[in-house]
């Protein structure tokens, strides 16, 4: 039975790297028809926050992938304690009464890493028991095998055979002096108890895996298959962090900007994985069908963002592509909340009329605020009247064009074909180019030069609004 888990720790918002780890777990388990477990690794009482738990669920729910089973580590402490006790009872772990180091000894490491405190590791069991019984605080450390030194090995499904000498491994802690299990212990205990068959996680855990292998063995449990993923890094090569890179690393930033969940998924899936056949835009089903560990790259992937623009251009492109392919009704529904958030009194009917005009002009859903504003607001924001003057024309030409347009628009039927015919005929009468006729009208009606096609725009705006705005522009020029 194939069982995988995604185990975020609630110490911050849902990170883009975590989202990708979740996605890869999801794809693997759906491809192979297994069970996906969501486990909140919340044993660090000091740093966990409810806000963070909420934000993780926010992000995961937005992605819309779902999971099959849910656990919280903090409610499974008894299991962790029992398993730690079992290791201790076998003599594979020992108590260390040394006070926690303050971390100041960073500098005196020239000779190599700290491995263990001999006085603790070699302390007779009777003395250890006596001091524990006296209430003296201690941590429980794993007794890493040293005589003889051995190589710990595992076969990574992505990186291949890995090995590390126990001479380079410190006696890591399993249980803190406050009685809480460490990450290593809790994680492995739960993986054993939940019968996890594949651990798919970030490559930052590769070095930890040697410790985990030792724990699995000490527990007499079969070790799962490990698959480590390359990390996601910032353009400057450093690892993505909230403090340094801001909202660019948070999943909800993408959601709030108007990314479609699938565009985001498609994007992060391509970071460190490839179907190897040049496909990029893929549906969820196609991704599921194509996913395997073989397609995972071993080098870290850079998420390409800047201080001005927190979004990778490829993610934006993928989103724009998806927007263009969406059925209009669906897109219109998605757009509505973004229009309202921009302060527009947008009605569904109006939104539905506007949608086809902006579909291929927006890249993010929030672009509705800047691209379609003039459809929804009562009064256009002020603009420079020189905008009204067409190419190779002057203010007189603009004025004449607007006066003529005003006449035409008051009599012509308000649909884009009729408007097209009538306005072109008007331009011909005036002996000016169609473009010279259209620009003043467009600016008068939209408040700027760059806008959707003119006749459709006029149609959606309606005769009254068009005439009012053109009248306003005529006053500006007079």
Partner RNA sequence: GGCGCUAUCGUCUAACGGUUAGGACAGAGCCCUCUCAAGGCUUAAAUACGGGUUCGAUUCCCGUUAGCGCUACCA
Residues 127-146 that bind RNA (CB under 7 A): 137, 139
Distance, CA of 461 to chain centre: 37
* Cα–Cα distance, 166 to 339 (Å, whole number): 60
Kindly state whether residue 120 participates in binding RNA, applying the rule CB under 7 A: no
Phi-psi map region of 27: left, alpha, beta (phi>0 left; psi -120 to 50 alpha): alpha
Give yes or no for a cis peptide into 201 (omega within 30° of 0): no
Q: Is 347 helix (H, G, I), strand (E, B) or coil?
A: coil
Nearest approach in angstroms of CB 20 to RNA is: 10
Kindly state whether residue 6 participates in binding RNA, applying the rule CB under 7 A: no
Q: Which is nearer to RNA, 2 or 284 (CB)?
A: 284
Give the residue among 262, 281, 362 at the shortest CA–CA distance from 320.
Answer: 362
Kindly state whether residue 149 participates in binding RNA, applying the rule CB under 7 A: no
Of residues 40-69, those binding RNA (CB under 7 A): 41, 43-44, 47
Of residues 78-107, those binding RNA (CB under 7 A): 98-101, 103
Q: Which is nearer to RNA, 32 or 177 (CB)?
A: 177
Of residues 239-298, those binding RNA (CB under 7 A): 239, 270-274, 276, 278, 280, 295, 297-298
Of residues 317-356, those binding RNA (CB under 7 A): 317, 320-321, 324
Cα Rg of the chain, angstroms: 32
Q: Which is nearer to RNA, 162 or 250 (CB)?
A: 162
DSSP lists the bridge partners of residue 302 as 233
Q: List, in sequence order, the alpha helices (H) in 161-205.
A: 183-193
Per CB under 7 A, which region of 77-85, 333-341, 407-415, 433-441 contacts RNA?
Answer: 433-441
Nearest approach in angstroms of CB 21 to RNA is: 11
Q: Which is nearer to RNA, 2 or 321 (CB)?
A: 321
Report the largest interatomic distance among the alpha carbons of the chain, rounded to a whole angstrom.
Answer: 109
* Cα–Cα distance, 187 to 181 (Å, whole number): 9
Query: Residues binding RNA: what is the number (CB under 7 A)?
Result: 89
Which x/- pattern over 210-239 shows residues binding RNA (rule: CB under 7 A)? --------------------xx-x-x-xxx
Kindly state whether residue 184 participates in binding RNA, applying the rule CB under 7 A: yes
* Cα–Cα distance, 305 to 86 (Å, whole number): 48
Q: Which is nearer to RNA, 273 or 375 (CB)?
A: 273
Contact yes or no for 442/387 (Cβ under 8 A): no
Give the residue among 422, 451, 426 at the shortest CA–CA distance from 439.
Answer: 451
Q: Which is nearer to RNA, 26 or 455 (CB)?
A: 455
Q: State the burial class of residue 168 (Cβ atoms within 10 Å of its Cβ: 0-12, 13-18, 19+).
A: middle
Q: Which is nearer to RNA, 446 or 474 (CB)?
A: 446
Nearest approach in angstroms of CB 100 to RNA is: 3
Per CB under 7 A, which region of 50-58, 188-196, 343-351, 436-444 contacts RNA?
Answer: 436-444
Nearest approach in angstroms of CB 215 to RNA is: 13
Nearest approach in angstroms of CB 258 to RNA is: 15
Kindly state whether residue 468 participates in binding RNA, applying the rule CB under 7 A: no
Kindly state whether residue 206 participates in binding RNA, applying the rule CB under 7 A: yes
* Cα–Cα distance, 293 to 287 (Å, whole number): 13
Q: Which is nearer to RNA, 68 or 155 (CB)?
A: 155
Q: What sign does the dihedral 186-188-189-195 (CA atoms) show?
A: positive
Element (H, E) at 313: helix 313-325
Residues in the chain: 478
Give the residue among 309, 164, 317 at the shortest CA–CA distance from 235.
Answer: 309
In the block, which residue shows the tokens 């690393």? 249
Q: Which is nearer to RNA, 148 or 161 (CB)?
A: 161
Q: Which is nearer to RNA, 82 or 325 (CB)?
A: 325
Kindly state whether residue 25 participates in binding RNA, applying the rule CB under 7 A: no
* Cα–Cα distance, 374 to 442 (Å, whole number): 11
Nearest approach in angstroms of CB 144 to RNA is: 12
Of residues 356-415, those binding RNA (CB under 7 A): 360-361
């Amino acid at each position: 039975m194939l069982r995988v888990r995604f185990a975020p720790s609630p110490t911050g918002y849902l990170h883009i790297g975590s989202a990708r780890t979740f996605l890869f777990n999801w794809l693997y388990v759906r491809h192979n028809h297994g069970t996906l477990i969501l486990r909140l690794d919340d044993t660090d009482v000091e740093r966990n926050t409810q806000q963070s738990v909420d934000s993780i669920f926010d992000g995961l729910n937005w992605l819309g992938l779902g999971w099959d089973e849910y656990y919280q580590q903090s409610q499974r402490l008894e299991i962790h304690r029992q398993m730690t006790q079992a290791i201790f009872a076998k003599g594979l772990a020992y108590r260390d009464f040394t006070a926690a180091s303050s971390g100041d000894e960073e500098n005196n490491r020239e000779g190599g890493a700290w491995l263990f405190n001999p006085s603790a590791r070699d302390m007779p069991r009777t003395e250890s028991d006596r001091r524990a019984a006296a209430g003296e605080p201690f941590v429980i450390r794993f007794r890493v095998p040293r005589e003889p030194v051995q190589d710990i090995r595992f076969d990574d499904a992505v990186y291949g055979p890995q090995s590390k000498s126990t001479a380079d491994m410190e006696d890591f802690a399993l249980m803190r002096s406050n009685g809480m299990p460490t990450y290593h212990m809790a994680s492995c205990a739960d993986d054993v108890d939940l019968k996890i068959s594949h651990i798919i996680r970030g490559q930052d855990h590769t070095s930890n895996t040697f410790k985990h292998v030792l724990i699995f063995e000490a527990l007499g449990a079969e070790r799962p298959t490990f698959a480590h993923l390359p990390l996601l890094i910032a353009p400057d090569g450093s690892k993505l962090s909230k403090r340094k890179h801001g909202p660019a690393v948070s999943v909800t930033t993408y959601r709030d900007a108007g990314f479609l969940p699938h565009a985001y998924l498609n994007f992060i899936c391509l970071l460190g994985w490839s179907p190897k056949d040049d496909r990029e835009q893929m549906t969820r089903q196609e991704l599921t069908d194509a996913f395997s560990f073989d397609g995972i790259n071993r080098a870290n992937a850079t998420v390409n963002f800047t201080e001005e623009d927190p979004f990778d251009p490829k993610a934006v492109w993928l989103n724009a592509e998806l927007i263009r392919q969406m059925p209009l009704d669906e897109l219109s529904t998605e757009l509505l909340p973004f229009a309202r958030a921009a302060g527009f009194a947008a009605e569904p009917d109006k939104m539905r009329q506007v949608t086809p005009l902006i579909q291929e002009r927006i890249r993010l859903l929030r672009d509705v605020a800047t691209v379609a504003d003039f459809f929804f607001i009562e009064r256009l924001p002020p603009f420079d009247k020189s905008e009204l003057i067409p190419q190779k024309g002057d203010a007189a030409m603009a004025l004449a064009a607007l006066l003529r347009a005003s006449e035409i628009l008051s009599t012509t039927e308000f649909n884009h074909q009729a408007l097209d015919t009538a306005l072109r005929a008007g331009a011909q009468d005036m002996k000016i180019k169609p473009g010279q006729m259209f620009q003043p009208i467009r600016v008068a009606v939209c408040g700027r030069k760059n806008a959707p096609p003119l006749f459709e725009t006029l149609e959606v705006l309606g005769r009254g609004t068009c005439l009012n705005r053109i009248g306003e522009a005529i006053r500006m020029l007079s």
